[in-house]
């Protein structure tokens, strides 16, 4: 299969104004997508997060699709998983998300969902890229696409989120702080939790186009932890800018990460007999997650890093639950992609059912100490092929036995080798990681 020129693992992303994330290219991308995804007319759902450039890209995508004879249904600011859900319920030909997820406001991106609410297959992305190499043409006037504003998109998605937990569960008596990252969940998540009966305090809920993900959200829970302590809340929940990731803090303001949230959901589903197979994590998932699930008799496999690969592994195994340490939690029995609000509701429902705090539930999974070191290497260097490094890794793995784990991988975006070591004690693994980092550095220079 040919290499993709523009599409990465999660669509097209970059700095606004710099090719390919500029108005001219995105106009043509809309046209090319219309040619491939809506050959005989058709309709495409378009949603965005709250960054200021979303207005511009929404307009040019609409124009590009219209020139190809495809109708646009504009949702306005909506979480990425909402766009996946609404693409299915509207029976649309595709969904388009304008977002750079957890990146700063000056970045943006475009990603696509198929009619089934899943990420596009590689062959479809390649076909879109082939159209990008052609001259943009406009269909005859009577066949031009139209644009419609979907006024009830938020209400539809709020009701969907609420439906993912049993109607018998009420959140009355629960005090929760929500950090919406000044992003796409700002007008969704507070309504979901309030309508379910929770006492809600919201931070990061006043987007201005420039403050998305700034010192808030799933990538920075410090403000959330502080607010939970100030308000004496039961827990805090943080979403990222486009709402497909979630992190939590307990009543003491301590972080509960994606691995722990995944464990809590898996344990509860296993207890109810509704897990439907095993659990998928990634190469970076904490060893404590694997060990904790093993004690419960739950199968666990690892995928490459990235929610795209987690979903692929789930589909391969016909399983329903997977996720990443970063907070992408995928419940395929509810939605076709990672959904921060849905995942948070599964955890909170467990708290209410079990009458236990988040700290108590998270404490059942014992995280292994983990050290991650980033070793700069020259472009083109291949230290991972070094015999001396392979020998050093073998020695460390032998010393750790089944009490730890070693992972070395090249960064996909920077000239770095990432060295990760897990084990029983921080002092032990720090020593192992430092030694391996030194061997990586020496091997890179030797070659």
Superfamily of structural domain 257-366: Alpha-D-Glucose-1,6-Bisphosphate, subunit A, domain 3 (3.40.120.10)
Q: Which CATH code, of 3.40.120.10, 3.40.50.11540, 3.75.10.10, 3.30.70.2740, is assigned to 12-151?
A: 3.40.120.10
Contact 16, 52 (CB under 8 A): no
Domains 171-254 and 370-446 share a fold: no
38-43 average pLDDT score: 83
- CA 437 to chain centroid, in Å, comes to 29
233-254 average pLDDT score: 98
230-240 average pLDDT score: 98
pLDDT at 285: 95
pLDDT at 446: 66
C-alpha 207/C-alpha 146 separation (Å) is 29
* Residue among 67, 99, 101, 303 flagged as catalytic: 101
pLDDT at 8: 83
CATH class assigned to 370-446 = alpha beta
pLDDT in tens, 252-275: 999 999 999 999 999 999 999 999
Pick the residue with more confidence: 382 or 242? 242
**Residue 224 scores a pLDDT above 80:** yes
Contact 188, 154 (CB under 8 A): yes
Identify any residues that bridge with 11 across adjacent strands, giving them in sequence order: 8
pLDDT at 2: 63
Mark out the alpha helices in 207-339 (DSSP H runs): 222-231, 258-272, 287-295, 307-317
Q: Which CATH code, of 3.40.640.10, 3.30.390.30, 3.60.15.10, 3.40.120.10, is assigned to 171-254?
A: 3.40.120.10
The predicted model scores a pTM of 0.93
**Residue 447 scores a pLDDT above 60:** no
C-alpha 31/C-alpha 252 separation (Å) is 51
Q: Is 285 a catalytic residue?
A: no
Domain boundary assignment for the chain: 12-151, 171-254, 257-366, 370-446
The per-residue pLDDT of the chain, averaged, comes to: 95
83-99 average pLDDT score: 97
């Amino acid at each position: 299969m040919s290499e993709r020129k523009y599409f990465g693992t999660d669509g097209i992303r970059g700095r606004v104004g710099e090719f390919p994330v500029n108005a001219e290219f995105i106009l043509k991308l809309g046209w090319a997508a219309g040619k491939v995804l809506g050959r005989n007319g058709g309709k495409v759902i378009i949603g965005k997060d709250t960054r200021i450039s979303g207005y511009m890209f929404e307009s040019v995508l609409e124009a590009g699709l219209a020139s190809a004879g495809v109708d646009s249904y504009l949702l306005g600011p909506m979480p990425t998983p909402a766009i996946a859900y609404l693409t299915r319920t509207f029976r649309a030909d595709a969904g388009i998300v304008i977002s750079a997820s957890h990146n700063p406001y000056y970045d943006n991106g475009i990603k696509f969902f198929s009619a089934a609410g899943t990420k596009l297959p590689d062959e479809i992305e390649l076909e879109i890229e082939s159209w990008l190499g052609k001259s943009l043409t406009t269909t005859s006037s009577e066949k031009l696409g139209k644009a419609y504003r979907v006024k009830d998109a938020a209400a539809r998605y709020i009701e969907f989120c609420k439906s993912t937990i049993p109607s018998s569960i009420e959140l009355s008596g629960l005090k929760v702080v929500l950090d919406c990252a000044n992003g796409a969940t700002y007008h969704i998540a507070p309504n979901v939790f309030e309508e379910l009966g929770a006492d809600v305090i919201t931070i990061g809920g006043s987007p201005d186009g420039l403050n998305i993900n700034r010192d808030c959200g799933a990538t920075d829970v410090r403000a959330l932890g502080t607010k939970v302590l100030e308000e004496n809340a039961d827990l805090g929940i943080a979403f990222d800018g486009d709402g497909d990731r979630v992190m939590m803090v307990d009543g003491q303001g301590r972080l509960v990460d994606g691995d722990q949230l995944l464990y809590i959901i898996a344990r509860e589903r296993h207890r109810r007999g509704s897990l439907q197979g095993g659990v998928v994590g990634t190469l970076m998932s904490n060893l404590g997650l694997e060990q904790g699930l093993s004690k419960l008799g739950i199968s666990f496999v690892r995928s490459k890093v990235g929610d795209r690969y987690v979903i692929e592994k789930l589909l391969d195994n016909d399983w329903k639950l997977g996720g990443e340490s970063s907070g992408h939690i995928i419940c395929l029995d509810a939605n076709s992609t990672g959904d921060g609000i849905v995942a948070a509701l599964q955890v909170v429902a467990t708290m209410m059912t079990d009458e236990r705090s988040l700290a108590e539930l998270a404490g059942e999974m014992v995280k292994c100490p983990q050290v991650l070191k980033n070793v700069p290497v020259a472009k083109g260097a291949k230290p991972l092929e070094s015999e001396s490094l392979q020998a050093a890794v073998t020695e460390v793995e032998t010393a750790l036995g089944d009490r730890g784990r070693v992972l070395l991988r090249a960064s996909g975006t920077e000239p770095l080798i990432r060295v990760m070591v897990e084990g029983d004690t921080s002092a032990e693994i720090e020593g192992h990681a430092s030694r391996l980092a030194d061997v990586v550095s020496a091997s890179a220079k030797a070659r």
